[in-house]
Structures are given as C-alpha cells and as structure tokens.
C-alpha cells in the first residue's frame, strides 16, 4: 500500500527533487551511464511510494530542476558578440560580467569599473565552470562604455568608506572590517584567512546568514515593522555588491520572516526548502557551490536537532544552552560533508565554533557600527581606535587557539557515508514513530 507519510511537508519533498534535477544535469555532463542509473532509481523510487498523480508531479519537478540548470549553462551566447555587458567584478588579470543574465569572464578588459555598462566585441569560448557559474569566456577586442548601473554608484559609496577606514585603522583591522561588514576578503592576509579556515570559522568573514540575522535583529529592535527592516537588509546587500553568501542569506530571511505572517501552517523546514528553490531559480549555479551546500546543511541541522540538543542541556544557563545547541546542531551534517570533500576533519573547528564565534559576533556588530560612524570627525577616529584594540585581542585568541588547529583526523569516504546512513535511518525511524504516536493520541 502506498503511503502519504512523506507528504507531511510537501515543500521539502519538492525542494529535494528540484535540487536532484540540477544534480542530474551535472551527471549528464560528466557520466551519462551514472546519469541514467540515478534517473532510473529516482523514477522507480518515486512510483513505488507515491500515487500516480503525485509521482507524476515529482517527476515534473525533477525535469524543471534539470532544465533550470541546463538553460543557464547550455543556452549559449553567440561566438561573435557585439553586446552589452554589466561588469560585476574586476581583478588585475580579468573582469567578470553578466550578459543576458549569464556570468562570463572577460579577458583584455582592464580600463573599466565595477557597475559599468560596456558594449564589447570579442570571441566567445564555451568553457563552463559549474562551481563559479561561468558559462564561458570572451577575448575582448574592442569595448565602449554605454552607461553606468546602480552597482557602479553603490561601489563608489563603498570605495569612499574604504578610503576613510584606511586612514583610521591598522592594516589588520582594515582587513577585518572589509570582510565582516563590506563583503570583501581580499584585504586580509593569506595567513590570517588560513588560520580561520583551520579553526572552522571562515564563515564569519563572509557577509552571510549570521551577519544578516544580526543586522535584522539590531534594526528590528529600533524599527518594529519587519517589511522596512527587510528592505534595509536588501539595500545593504545591494550596496556591498550583492555577494552570493549575502544574497542567499537575504532570500532566506525574507522567506522565513514573511512566511510566519502569510502562512498559518508555517514551519522552518518548509521555509528553508522554499528558499532553496527561489535561490536556484535566481542563480542555478549555486547548486554546485560548496558554500551553498554548507549553508543549507548547517540550517538543516539546526532545524532538525537544535531543539532536542537544547532540551538535553537544561543544567546549563539559557544563553549558553541556546548558543551550544545552535553550534552543535549545525555541525551534524557539515562534519561528514567536509570529511567527504576534503578527506579530513579538523579538530580545531570545535574550539573555533565554541569559543571564537561568540567573540566574532561582537566584532561583527562593532564592524557595522564603525562603517556607519567612520565618516564623522572625532567619533570615527575614536571608534576606530577601540576597534583596532578589539581586533588585536581577537587575533591574539585566534593565534593561540590556532596552535591546536593542526590536529587533523583523516577521513575515509566510507566512514562518512556510513555515518550519514545511520543518521538518516535514525531520523526516519524517529519521525515514523512520532507520526504513529500522534495518530494513536488523536
């Protein structure tokens, strides 16, 4: 008999198969035999547990996910181009731009600024980079500026703030405030970023979910209307150049906040699932980005386990219980994933998340305050002076804890897969038992 137990949260099921459709596209490009095997298994699995109409809907969702990614990467631009490009990023070697909503690399295009609209002539080479979202690259022969987008003016605002910060901060503090508040990590030294990577807290340097929640809560404590607070979060994201981690975070924040007001049967799992679909419709290539995986795996862990972990630590103070439950639940899926991806698990991530993240939260809030006040005479200098000492203390702590970050546990993929298999079975039987218990009580 076919069961409807899996349809308690239809949005979660829809998001799973929408993501699966995108993964099938990558398999089709890499290994056609594996693609056929996985597709067949999905269809057989769907029809074995679902009624015919529901099975057909799920298959259609897989097809939508597949073509969502395929249309982005496979509907290519003409090989000889005379078209308008919006420059989204620039390095000394190359520039990044968007042509008709697709990311491209531009070579030989140096005399431009971020946010400029440029008409270029060049040759297109199809060389998709699935992780970074490039559909190919252009060898530019000629170019001509045709205007400026809003991104150009927002970038100018950020550059003015950077010039001011550079005059009142030490080199290290300048790098941290750029990373934590302005979404630009290139001003931090390689040694600094490597140390934070080993401690498993590199996410504090990218404007992401943690930063957006802090901004939302700080502004929300002053402005009670959530729609205005969300609008300000979106404006902030745009001003700093809309980095991918910030875009994902603001999308999720919108879905989570508005979902509670609009939908009576709102739940975090469905909101998370819906936000993943919206994000992939906007930027299909995020599906192949490691930071996208880590963001959602952390949130899935928090949604599934944070409440249970918090209830198991009633002997601790409320504030500590809440922090620990969030940190530990976020690691449930991240640890095996990083083990499979990098073949090792760094013991330092536990120290980093338990000790340094709470301190980093204070530094992040201070970074936002500094950016807001840096232009004011005397006040900017005073806040900058205090910020320099805060970063000095923060670096002292990370350097000393970094001595323990070289303790690495080598991981075999088989152990990580076994861990995940046992974990999924435990979750399945827990919710199956819970649903039976609920039916008996009703």
Q: Low-confidence residues of the chain, pLDDT below 70?
A: 1-8, 75-83, 263-266, 319-320, 323, 342, 344-348, 351, 405-442
- The confidence score (pLDDT) of residue 284 equals 92
Instruction: Kindly indicate whether the domain formed by 80-148 is annotated with CATH number 1.10.3470.
Output: no
- What separation in angstroms does the CA of 382 have from each of 116, 149, 179, 227? 36, 35, 21, 34
- The confidence score (pLDDT) of residue 2 equals 40
- Check if the beta carbon of residue 76 is closer than 8 Å to that of residue 126: yes
Tokens matching residue 430: 């827990």
Burial 216-242 (b: 16+ CB within 10 A, else e): beebbeeeeebeebbeebbebbebbbb
- Strand 408-410 relative to strand 344-346: parallel, antiparallel, unpaired? antiparallel
Q: What's CA 249's distance to the chain center, in Å?
A: 7
- The confidence score (pLDDT) of residue 320 equals 67
Query: What sign results for the dihedral spanned by CA atoms 380, 383, 386, 392?
Result: negative
Query: What number of other Cβ atoms are within 10 A of residue 252's Cβ?
Result: 24
Helix then strand then coil, % of the chain, to nearest 5: 70, 10, 20
- What separation in angstroms does the CA of 117 have from each of 114, 143, 172? 9, 10, 34
121: enclosing H helix or E strand: strand 116-125
Tokens 């090989």 belong to residue: 79
- The confidence score (pLDDT) of residue 80 equals 54
Beta bridge partners of 86: 98, 117
With CA atoms as reference, report the closest residue to 363 among 400, 393, 324, 330.
Answer: 393
- What is the spatial distance between Cα 370 and Cα 395, in angstroms, rounded to a whole number? 18
- The confidence score (pLDDT) of residue 439 equals 55
278: enclosing H helix or E strand: helix 268-282
Query: What sign results for the dihedral spanned by CA atoms 278, 279, 282, 286?
Result: negative
- The confidence score (pLDDT) of residue 1 equals 38
pLDDT tens, 323-368?
A: 677 777 877 777 777 777 767 666 667 767 777 878 888 898 899 9
- Check if the beta carbon of residue 85 is closer than 8 Å to that of residue 118: yes
DSSP one-letter code for 345 = E
């Amino acid at each position: 008999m076919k069961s409807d137990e899996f349809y308690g949260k239809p949005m979660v099921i829809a998001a799973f198969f929408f993501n699966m459709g995108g993964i099938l596209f990558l398999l089709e490009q890499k290994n056609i035999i594996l693609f056929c095997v996985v597709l067949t298994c999905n269809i057989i699995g769907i029809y074995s547990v679902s009624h015919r109409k529901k099975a057909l809907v799920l298959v259609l969702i897989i097809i939508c996910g597949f073509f969502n990614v395929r249309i982005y990467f496979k509907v290519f631009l003409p090989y000889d181009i005379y078209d308008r490009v919006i420059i989204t990023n620039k390095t000394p070697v190359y520039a990044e731009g968007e042509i008709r909503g697709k990311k491209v690399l531009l070579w030989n295009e140096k005399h431009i600024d971020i946010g400029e609209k440029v008409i270029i002539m060049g040759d297109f080479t199809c060389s998709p980079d699935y992780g970074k979202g490039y559909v190919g690259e252009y060898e530019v022969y000629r170019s001509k500026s045709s205007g400026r987008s809003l991104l150009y003016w927002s970038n100018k605002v950020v550059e003015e703030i950077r010039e001011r910060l550079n005059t009142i901060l030490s080199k290290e503090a300048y790098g941290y405030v750029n990373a934590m508040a302005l979404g630009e990590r290139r001003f931090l030294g390689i040694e600094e970023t490597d140390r934070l990577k080993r401690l498993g807290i590199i996410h504090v340097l990218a404007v992401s979910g943690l930063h957006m929640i802090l901004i939302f809560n700080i502004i929300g404590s002053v402005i009670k209307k959530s729609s205005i607070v969300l609008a300000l979060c979106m404006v902030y994201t745009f001003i700093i150049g809309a980095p991918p981690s910030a875009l994902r975070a603001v999308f999720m924040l919108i879905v989570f906040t508005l979902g509670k007001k609009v939908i009576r049967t709102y739940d975090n799992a469905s909101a998370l699932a819906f936000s993943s679909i919206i994000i992939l419709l906007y930027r299909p290539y995020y599906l192949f980005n490691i930071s996208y995986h880590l963001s959602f795996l952390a949130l899935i862990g928090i949604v599934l386990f944070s409440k249970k972990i918090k209830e198991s630590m009633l002997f601790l103070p409320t504030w500590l219980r809440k922090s620990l439950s969030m940190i530990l639940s976020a690691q449930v899926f991240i640890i095996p994933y990083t083990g499979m991806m990098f073949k090792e698990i760094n013991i330092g991530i536990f120290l980093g998340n338990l000790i340094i993240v709470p301190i980093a939260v204070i530094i992040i809030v201070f970074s936002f305050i500094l950016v807001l006040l840096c232009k004011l005479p005397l006040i900017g200098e005073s806040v900058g002076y205090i910020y320099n000492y805060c970063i000095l203390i923060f670096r002292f702590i990370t350097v000393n804890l970094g001595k323990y970050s070289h303790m690495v546990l080598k991981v075999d993929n088989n152990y990580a897969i076994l861990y995940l298999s046992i974990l999924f079975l435990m979750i399945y039987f827990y919710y199956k038992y819970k649903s039976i218990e609920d039916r008996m009580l009703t």
